[in-house]
Amino acid sequence: MADLAVPVVTAALLLWLTRGLASEPGAEPTSFQWTATVVTVVVTCIALVPRRWAPLPVFGVVLVTAATGALLIDHPDTVVYGLVEVVALYSVAAHLDRRTASLAGCAAFAVALMLGVPVRSGPQGLLAELVLDAALYMAVVACGQLRRQRKARRRELAARLAEADAERRAAALAERHRLARDLHDVAGHHLSAVVVHSGAVAGVGDPELARQALGAAAEKGREVLRSLSRLVDVVGAQAADGDLRTVLPPLCRGLSEFGMPVALEVEGRARRVPPEVGFAAYRIVQEALTNAVRYAAGAPVRVTVRYVPGSLELTVANDAPSGGGTAPGLGSGRGVAGMTERATELGGTLRAGPDAAGGWTVAAALPTGGGPRRGPGWDEALDAAAIAMCAVLPLVAFTPPDPLVRGFPGWAVPLVAAALAARTAPLWWRRRAPRIATAALAVTTLVFGVASALWRPDLLPVLMLGCGAEMVAVYSAACYGGRTAPTWPAALVAAVPWGVVVGLVMVEPADVRVDLAPVLLYGLLVGGTAVTVALLPFWAWGRLVAARSRHWETEALAAMAAHTGQAVLAERDRVARGLRGGVLDHTGRLVRVAEAGLAGDADDRRAALTAAADEARAALTGMRALLAAMEEPGPAGRP
């Protein structure tokens, strides 16, 4: 649909603009010029249809046809060059490599220069047009190349997502088979032995054999509990999607259910972090808690999450083990190495070691502001083009033959140009610090506007021609301002200087001392409101672009964060839930019954043997049901 809609809309717009510009008496085009205009517009717009499949040939046809038509028509008010080649150039930049796109932009600029020199009456107008044309074509090429990079990144993410999904499936299947085998070998052997041995001894009636059988049943039951706890690593899997507020509490509660007191504290303003940071943070906390379970069982653990500007800080500290002394080392060190690697990959740091109280502390700092700063690219080219256009376009007010500002001394024009460049310079930081850039632009606009309104009101049209800077700033604040704080105030901030200028314009010089405050307030309300309303569409545009561009990549990164290790842990969590629901409960009762029987008389031991056999049999039944359920793919193995 877009392949046809864009040429049709472009043709209609070009013909409408030409009709409107060339309608003044005495300036109407001749029949030949009008016919040539229509033919040129129709041919170039038809040529745009296959621009996606053959962007370079289309660009060549459009460029040559539009330039030839402009030379044949030779009428300053016929618009046949300026829009259609922009569409063709964007297609080249969006589908072809950097070198080809840059050469196409240079070709478009050269043709524009060739067509612009004969119709400009002075060097000022020609210079302004050259700068604006250069900025325009640079912006078009940059936008196209950025679009091409985003599409390439999406294809890369899709491929990585498919690979990660296949790895998760294979890992989940392998882990499911391992868990089923180990569950059968460990629990099946011991529980079956308890059923057979306890049942046989209960029928003999020998008190000594009953005591020995109960002791063996209790020991086998405890071994089953230890083995099953190790089997599932006692820590279930969770999905870290960047919102730690939803994934850490269940992790800590899961350990508390196993008698491990865990306290979770969150400091600072909680916010979503990038998916890769959230995943790494979850895994670091999970590994630290797992080590606390293994080497400091029963000792209180404190998990602290601190949200600080540009970073996420984690601390997992456990007290000394109940036996006293210094907390032992973390096994072979692989756990600490894995946590350190996760932190280092994100540009963060991690420290693990004993503390002064004999416990163990893991402290990590993970940056949340993205990866390392890269060199200049198409983003910076687009920013430079936007600054150039917003700074140079107002200078058109000084260019002949019909300047908007008359009688202005020529020596002062460079000063105005420098002031305009300083006014738009904050836009360079519109991506990294959009709120600061918007506020700085508002300050520079206020200074320029107040100075113009008080001393040179004829410069106000110059300021109005540069209003595109506010549009860019508000769009950038909405697009890059993040999701943790509202971005709509950017429109209000950008509108305040214009409201003040409107108020100053309304004040008569003789009434400044008397009427300044109420008139300024009125101008601020009326002018500021009008400009805010005009800027809100650009704010909405920025929010829409941010939502569309970030949503898919965020979802893909979050899905890739669920890599092989998470699939393995998901299977363990699945088994852990099944074990807690039946096998562990019955095995625990088996141990308690056997221990109670050992403390009783002969009749109590005989009854305890029967009860222990029943509990072992029930645990075996639960285990068989769990093994049967494991034959079906779990969530990690679904297609």
What does the pLDDT read at residue 240?
Answer: 43
Of how many residues is the chain composed?
Answer: 639
Candidates 359, 190, 381; CA nearest to 291 is 359
359 in the Ramachandran plot: left (φ > 0), alpha (ψ -120 to 50) or beta? beta
**Which amino acid is it at 473?**
A
Q: What span, in angstroms and rounded, lies between the C-alpha atoms of 134 and 128?
A: 10
What does the pLDDT read at residue 325?
Answer: 43
What does the pLDDT read at residue 559?
Answer: 53
What does the pLDDT read at residue 334?
Answer: 58
573 pLDDT higher than 60: yes
What does the pLDDT read at residue 238?
Answer: 41
Report pTM. Answer: 0.56
What does the pLDDT read at residue 439?
Answer: 93
Is the CB of residue 135 less than 8 Å from the CB of residue 82?
no
Q: What span, in angstroms and rounded, lies between the C-alpha atoms of 423 and 421?
A: 5
Span 121-138, average pLDDT: 76
479 pLDDT higher than 50: yes
Q: What span, in angstroms and rounded, lies between the C-alpha atoms of 431 and 481?
A: 8
In percent, the amount of the chain with pLDDT more than 70 equals 76
Say how many Å lie between the first and final Cα of the chain, rounded.
33
**Which amino acid is it at 192?**
S
Q: What is the pLDDT of residues 104-122, one digit of tens each?
A: 999 999 988 887 765 555 5
What does the pLDDT read at residue 265?
Answer: 87
What does the pLDDT read at residue 26?
Answer: 58
Least confident of 9-23, 227-241, 417-431, 533-547: 227-241
Residues 6+ apart with CB under 8 A from 519: 503, 506, 507
Chain position carrying tokens 């020998």:
206
What does the pLDDT read at residue 329?
Answer: 40
Burial 390-421 (b: 16+ CB within 10 A, else e): bbbbbbbbbbeeeebbeebeeeebeebbebbe
- Structure-token pair, residue 162: 């498919």
Neighbours of 598 (CB within 10 A): 17
Q: What are residue 302's phi and psi, to 5 degrees?
A: -120, 125
What does the pLDDT read at residue 313?
Answer: 92
Q: What span, in angstroms and rounded, lies between the C-alpha atoms of 515 and 503?
A: 10
Span 596-621, average pLDDT: 84
Position 371 confidence tier, pLDDT thresholds 50, 70, 90? very low
The beta-strand segments (E) located in 280-348 are 301-308, 311-318
What does the pLDDT read at residue 633?
Answer: 55
Q: Is the peptide bond before 401 cis (omega within 30 degrees of 0)?
A: yes
- H/E stretch holding 323: none
Q: What is the pLDDT of residues 247-304, one digit of tens each?
A: 788 777 766 655 668 888 888 766 777 767 887 888 888 888 877 776 776 788 899 9
Q: What is the pLDDT of residues 63-99, one digit of tens each?
A: 999 888 888 887 766 677 778 889 999 999 999 998 9
Distances (CA, A) of 239 to 243, 536, 635: 10, 37, 12
